[in-house]
Structure 1
């Protein structure tokens, strides 16, 4: 402490921060305690004289009696080390020591008083005086520690409130109170809880953990500066999507920072700081995930050999993670991207050291490289997620898109049938519905080929197709793209102000894949109820505000025009006229027209030859023959539709 004060005084900084003082030396605490004992003696003397109007000390030397009492008390305080603890951290044990030392003082002095009476026939002090001294001295010592403890608490809280973000906790339920208490009990967190926020209006005069409870109208009627609040902590699991959106709209309107805290079930004090994070746009787009039948899924994968193509991609890698939880005998992860494949290899070996993996660097369009895998490993399940998916790139390079999306799918599916794989699950896209670009048309062609294999003589494999919308956080998707643009200071680029998309999370997409693999009987195309569509302009504005900026003031939004093959609106896959329900209300079967195997096989061979020749126009012509509903949009291939 002395070094700290010396540095403050002689080092140029004359401000002594009381919360930085570690603790007072023990002799100072003992000296203050002795002073409190002396004050207690005089206070007891004053009270006794006022009440009794008689002599209470019968010994001829009053000072000697006082010195004896204080001496005994100090000896007992030394024995019990009542001065040794750090006062601001006093506990019940410290207070109990004080009580014992004061009580023993009264007992010992009282015993001496009785012995003195037996020896001389008179007492040297009134017994009532000893009892009063015991009460006053204990209360004085107790209050001293209580005030010091509270003083340091106030100083510490004031310092926290000036350096930390002042936040409200949304909700007054047990979950919200538990999160608030955890934050208050953890001084290292950069948050200072100043109150609670609720929709209810009957809690205005109440408080929780000593903090006020504010109603929603309080937030609506006041500015951020008037409220003296920096942000809000929400527990997403405690609210519906509509409730969350309503609150978030209000908070963004008031320019409040929004933080997401975990539920109590997921809460660990050790990593609470890492668990509280800024609310992301993905948190607002998430829906209740599909409830998959884990026992059925487990039985399909337990102790089986599994192949995942495109296993280093966004969807493929998540399929690998989820399948690994069901203890398969082997997972073969195949991809042509070297670095992502290496990354997933390191991750899987760390997370699932007990699972046998094989990581294969290969192109799905190379049959001579792929077939030995089927010959060697006797796969039970094949998940085909390998594909080129970026609309503008495939539009510019249709021949490359065909080689991977069509020829690659043909090879994997045909080998699955030849080697009697139990189930083949293909990952497709909603862009295959009434396609307006080469990528969507190539995926629709692959769907038609995979479906046609179901009815080929001698086939025992169940061929299942799943279609997704846009996947949150996938490589190259709009949200990571917007995040990078916002981090760079803008501008955020949108192709068209009216463009609309459906969204789902990567785990949701993969749960659909796994569920489809268990519920399909072969030949089905499963589609997902995507919920409500999201306007990309609104998405961009909310992402900018969630990042603490103002759209078109801090971060500009500019429009670049529709890209080749891009739609304004995706097809609504849950149209009752085109789908059949399943036992899962989030999954439907799409009733799309199919093609005979011989016909689609012949057409895809022609398509492959045109792709090998790099004849882009011929490739697109054949695609339009296979997929008559394919009408190019904002593309050089529009002339082929006339």
Structure 2
């Protein structure tokens, strides 16, 4: 029978059916009122016009039910708003009938209806219509609950503020979704015996002592705008008690149905996200508005976000250069759809090709160059040091010299914390690139401001640790970590790119800007937290293996060299690092020499010259450690 009627596919009762039921309720209310008066032996006026009187009452009620659209609401979502519509309709009908009574009493000497009968009819009809809606709503909720009961996720909403209550209401009023409200968690000390929406409010101290929360709850629901410290505390409590953690945007942002669809498992990125820098948008915009901009490495994680942010600033042209064909094409499709009014030029090119780059500078007269192209994977570069020379050093040299030659206003290079006291070829190559860029600032006839930004790991970037861990967890493990004590700094991609754009507006050129990265994160703790957020137990469901430091890898990263001094800027989280400099003639000579060795693929000779350029470069867990045993003066002699 259920399948025949297709009840499961019926989204809501048709309006005409609700309208018909309301008419039936009014008719029943009239009959009930009449029987009540008859049993009390009350004499009715104008009994000879009984049928006409009943028809008039029903007709007046139908008129106002139609005007106030009492039938328009979806029954299973009925609220007090629907009650007020019924109240207005029945109240208006009562006023009209009272008016008819007044006229009848004035003209005929007695009222057409008994006044108590009209008020009794008013209350009975209101009660029955609202009772019908509430009963239908509860029956539907119970039916959906029984249908999905076994798969329902029992949720505890964190907080008792208005936003949390709105989230809880959204769960209650959407019985078809896979969540079931099971209670509230609160840090307030006055909530021990409180009940909200029919569910208990559990105090945080009570929760900490309870080791059986899994018998009552499956997950906790946290709001997006919750204070980061509070979120961290609640997540820790939930994971320690074996509960999943879900996240939802604030109810004020999304409608009721949308909130349920936006509930998702909490990601590790949510816990690592930080308060972004406050950017001086007017200054940044003036530097880009109606200007021609070049972004190298534009299809990468950092480069593509720089392009997205610059695209909002009204540039006349954005030239996006990358040698990765497929990512560049995908970015092109995205940007053309998101920014249809922005003029883009997508160029497939290798920055180590000077002639290809020079044509771009000739044609487009760039105002600002954002240089984000680089090889960044430490183990791969350790095995292929000549490639780091071609791209990280040679490519940077090409772009910097062309920027000077074509009077580019600002050249902004994206560097890395691995360039500080490097222990691998990748970091050393980036430090060499920094030195080259800085050396041009005071070179003859230079008008370009050369600026470098240096920061740590970015969340979700290509090849970073978090996506890698996610894939390992999805496969059932093991999660592999190089060392139990390894730590890293993290920041978000938008935050990193805001820093790059802001740095492009600051200073006189030649500066290396470093960022207050906050507290470092222990990678082992990060892995355990990710495993728990996925609903597993570390070293029980998902094993953690330590595989040893990779070639060139170090336990912790630094943002400042030992010999550097830090100068504050007007941004409390942005500082200037005063690192040792090299004269242009010296770094230019060494750059040409290392390029010749790279062309011959003389790896040992490449790294030897790299150690001369970057004296603080000490190889770690690498075949090039042999070079560190050679005194520095001998390195020079051998190189000569």
The answer for the alignment partner of 2:43 in structure 1 is: 57
- Tell whether 2:238 aligns with 1:251: yes
Contact 2:174 2:257 in 1 (8 A): no
The answer for the alignment partner of 2:455 in structure 1 is: 468
Which has the larger displacement, 35-44 or 23-32?
Answer: 23-32
> Offset at 1:99?
4.2
Counterparts of 2:502 and 2:514, CA distance in 1 = 11
> Offset at 1:591?
2.3
Contact 1:219 1:227 in 2 (8 A): no
In structure 2, do the counterparts of structure 1 residues 156 and 500 end up closer, same or farther at CA, with 3 Å as the change threshold?
same
TM-score with structure 2 setting the length: 0.87
The answer for the alignment partner of 1:424 in structure 2 is: 411
Counterparts of 1:543 and 1:421, CA distance in 2 = 45
Counterparts of 2:536 and 2:137, CA distance in 1 = 35
The answer for the alignment partner of 1:589 in structure 2 is: 576
After superposition, the C-alpha distances for 1:380-438 in whole angstroms (9 at most, x for unaligned) are 11111110000000001111111101111111111111111111111111111111111
Contact 1:311 1:335 in 2 (8 A): yes
> Offset at 1:32?
5.5
The answer for the alignment partner of 1:52 in structure 2 is: none
The answer for the alignment partner of 1:613 in structure 2 is: 600
Quick one: which of 84, 88, 99 aligns to 1:92? 84
Superposed CA RMSD:
3.4
Counterparts of 1:78 and 1:626, CA distance in 2 = 91
> Offset at 1:546?
1.1
The answer for the alignment partner of 2:632 in structure 1 is: none
The answer for the alignment partner of 2:557 in structure 1 is: 570
Counterparts of 2:360 and 2:444, CA distance in 1 = 24
Quick one: which of 3, 7, 16 aligns to 2:4? 7
Q: Which one has the largest radius of gyration?
A: 1
The answer for the alignment partner of 1:198 in structure 2 is: 186
The answer for the alignment partner of 2:434 in structure 1 is: 447
TM-score with structure 1 setting the length: 0.86
Contact 1:528 1:573 in 2 (8 A): no
Contact 1:496 1:559 in 2 (8 A): yes
The answer for the alignment partner of 2:36 in structure 1 is: 43
After superposition, the C-alpha distances for 1:21-46 in whole angstroms (9 at most, x for unaligned) are 76868766655554443333333345
| Map 1:235-634 → 2, pairs under 5 A | 235-239=223-227, 241-263=228-250, 266-267=253-254, 271-571=258-558, 573=560, 578-634=565-621
Q: How many residues align?
A: 616
> Offset at 1:196?
3.6
Counterparts of 1:243 and 1:497, CA distance in 2 = 27
Quick one: which of 125, 128, 151 aligns to 1:141? 125
Contact 1:524 1:589 in 2 (8 A): yes
Counterparts of 1:522 and 1:81, CA distance in 2 = 74
Q: SS at 1:42's partner residue? A: helix
The answer for the alignment partner of 1:165 in structure 2 is: 153
In structure 2, do the counterparts of structure 1 residues 29 and 224 end up closer, same or farther at CA, with 3 Å as the change threshold?
farther
In structure 2, do the counterparts of structure 1 residues 294 and 268 end up closer, same or farther at CA, with 3 Å as the change threshold?
farther
> Tell me, which stretches of 5 or more residues in structure 1 are unaligned?
50-55
In structure 2, do the counterparts of structure 1 residues 137 and 593 end up closer, same or farther at CA, with 3 Å as the change threshold?
same
Counterparts of 1:563 and 1:181, CA distance in 2 = 51
- Tell whether 2:134 aligns with 1:150: yes
Counterparts of 2:360 and 2:162, CA distance in 1 = 54
In structure 2, do the counterparts of structure 1 residues 270 and 143 end up closer, same or farther at CA, with 3 Å as the change threshold?
closer
Contact 1:482 1:540 in 2 (8 A): yes
Which has the larger displacement, 548-557 or 493-502?
Answer: 548-557
> Offset at 1:477?
0.4
